[in-house]
Structure 1
């Protein structure tokens, strides 16, 4: 199992490095992470095969990267997220680089000194600190993913392959794996170690497969937050708004002024946006973005996003999905569309997958499309 994990990790890691160079995908850091993550069991493999007994000079090989591996995954997530224009957290690599240098120095020490270090309390302290650092980086990664998902919901009407949910689950699984390793340090059980090894192999395969299939996320973050001079000023378009078009839901009018836009301005923005979407049926486009709506209405996307979040308490994804659900309800009631399956209805109104259609429909109607029909 250990050998399978190492070979699998080396193959997938090299594949991701090649994808980075050939297809301009940000998989360099993910490939390096998988390579380092998969090398962890080499010390155990050498010991179980009695290689260390024959060649004791190979004791403490520099293949443990507790401080280096997870920062590489963290930087990969930063590069693949919608915030890839921000400054990356390269500072998290510093402890790992120091760990690698120290590991190389220790590897070339006399055998007696290495054996003393291997069975000393320093080895356990090093492992515990490495585990703690990995968990801290994991928490930072999850926090980044949550912020990314919120931004994706404010930019795209379709979030499949963009929400990075798989990476969040991988971090949770990795923390579980690290805790199992720590438990194995205190309970020397073959059954427990087999389970640890199995989890390791599954994690390597999971993160490799998802990393290979993960598409580049075209970030709209910089456009969304660019200066408003690139769009027609709000005051110039406010007179053209067709106030006869109702909003999705009537917002409560607040007496106080918002810092960015007051409630009257937000209502006018939402009315114009709603008019444009209904007039062009743009919500039927499954890859619709907030930039598309901004270009159609000549309103800065930040104003649209702000009005949606503060007036309707909806992100862009839910805002568009409400139009799609309303259209789906029409088709589900219309006998002319009885020949279409539930999935077909979802595709007809702009949903990309059956699962997203069901999820959105249940969110707004509190029942499934099948039950509604």
Structure 2
């Protein structure tokens, strides 16, 4: 059984190493987000090596004690959060927070450097200059803070994904931008790892020592996580791709938030619907509320409020309903019988086949092919 476990662990370590290097050095999918994810996976690899190496010494240098190798636990939540924020285009809102913790992370990791220097010069280590309790307490303080930071990172990630989805629904017409189920899965895949880690830290706080079942379960979930990321990496193209930069920043939104006085939203909604029907703005595959704002000379915030309150849907659904109606007309047009479903979708304003099918399912309950004139 032990040999089977070791085989599974080392297979996952190698898988994480290869996938991490792919994300970091891929020329085809070069991006800051991919590099962050690559380093995140390599942290798991380094942490695994400190625990699962079958030997305790390289020559006469210990690799099994505190700070003998770089301590990377603080890097887990920082890289995780940075990656999620990068995918959502929200890094700027947490730049100071991230910068502070990167400095803290590298300060902790650099504790290995004096350890190496001391060993090279005198054959001793930090444990020979400080008491074991001191080194142990520093290590545990780092552990507990890393765990606390992981909880914070998960909460911020969930908050920002919800914020992103709300903003897309009210400002962008591209349905593909809402296809981020994989990102939710990525976030929640860390929950069981964090939970087991918390149980282990609780056990230690109450005087526990040595290897526990919580540690083994934590690594079991880490192995599953590595294979899960490997799976979605080759099945979800948007794991590699970034998201368009959100045009309207929070400051602009705040300034416009209260600019509703004297507005006749009923009249505005009639004007909006007339403009959409007469000028076919929905045929623009990348239409945003900011584009429509310029055309209508109405602030984006007011447009969004009007659509939500008077028309009763968000911007995304409103625009795609027009596209569905246009596609239905084309599907019933005998002169378009030679057009493919994808071609009709493109002519109706849909950016992709998946966006068209999603909009049809939502509005009609059927796929576009159901309405094709025979």
Alignment of 1:203-282 (within 5 A): 203=229, 206=232, 213-215=240-242, 217-222=244-249, 225=252, 260-261=259-260, 265-282=264-281
* Alpha-carbon displacement from aligned partner over 1:338-372 (angstroms, at most 9, x marks no partner): 44444443233122233322221222223333344
Q: Which one is further off, 157-166 or 303-312?
A: 157-166
Tell me the distance in 2 between the aligned counterparts of 1:110 and 1:83.
40
Q: Does 1:200 align with 2:205?
A: no
C-alpha deviation, 1:182, in angstroms:
6.2
Q: How many equivalent residue pairs?
A: 339
Tell me the distance in 2 between the aligned counterparts of 1:367 and 1:299.
35
Q: Does 1:4 align with 2:3?
A: no
* Alpha-carbon displacement from aligned partner over 1:269-327 (angstroms, at most 9, x marks no partner): 22222222212222122111222222222222222122112222322211100101111
C-alpha deviation, 1:65, in angstroms:
2.4
Structure 2 unaligned spans of 5+: 1-10, 116-124, 201-210
SS in 2 for 1:221: coil
Indicate conservation of the 8 Å contact 1:305/1:316, yes or no: yes
164 and 365 in structure 1: CA distance in 2 versus 1, 3 angstrom threshold: closer
Indicate conservation of the 8 Å contact 1:26/1:80, yes or no: yes
170 and 318 in structure 1: CA distance in 2 versus 1, 3 angstrom threshold: same
135 and 305 in structure 1: CA distance in 2 versus 1, 3 angstrom threshold: same
* Alpha-carbon displacement from aligned partner over 1:118-166 (angstroms, at most 9, x marks no partner): 9979867754553342132112112112111211222221142576543
SS in 1 for 2:186: helix
Tell me the distance in 2 between the aligned counterparts of 1:138 and 1:13.
22
Q: Does 1:52 align with 2:43?
A: no
C-alpha deviation, 1:181, in angstroms:
5.7
* Alpha-carbon displacement from aligned partner over 1:211-255 (angstroms, at most 9, x marks no partner): 8731351321149937999xxxxxxxxxxxxxxxxxxxxxxxxxx
222 and 191 in structure 1: CA distance in 2 versus 1, 3 angstrom threshold: closer
Q: Does 1:186 align with 2:192?
A: no
Tell me the distance in 2 between the aligned counterparts of 1:94 and 1:70.
13
Q: TM-score, normalised by structure 1?
A: 0.72
Q: TM-score, normalised by structure 2?
A: 0.71
Alignment of 1:143-162 (within 5 A): 143-161=159-177
> Aligned-residue CA RMSD in angstroms?
4.3
* Alpha-carbon displacement from aligned partner over 1:177-211 (angstroms, at most 9, x marks no partner): 44456678632797985664243244367579868
Q: Does 1:175 align with 2:175?
A: no
Indicate conservation of the 8 Å contact 1:66/1:127, yes or no: yes
121 and 371 in structure 1: CA distance in 2 versus 1, 3 angstrom threshold: farther
Indicate conservation of the 8 Å contact 2:77/2:146, yes or no: no
Q: Does 1:101 align with 2:124?
A: no
SS in 1 for 2:323: helix
Q: Does 1:353 align with 2:360?
A: no
SS in 1 for 2:189: helix
The match for 1:131 is: 147
Indicate conservation of the 8 Å contact 1:71/1:93, yes or no: no
C-alpha deviation, 1:12, in angstroms:
3.2
Alignment of 1:70-81 (within 5 A): 70-81=77-88
Q: Does 1:88 align with 2:94?
A: yes
Q: Which one is further off, 292-301 or 57-66?
A: 57-66
* Alpha-carbon displacement from aligned partner over 1:39-87 (angstroms, at most 9, x marks no partner): 2212134x22x25385452223444423233223323443453545x54
Structure 1 unaligned spans of 5+: 230-257
Q: Which one is further off, 330-339 or 289-298?
A: 330-339
* Alpha-carbon displacement from aligned partner over 1:87-122 (angstroms, at most 9, x marks no partner): 424325545644543454377245679996799798
The match for 2:43 is: 36
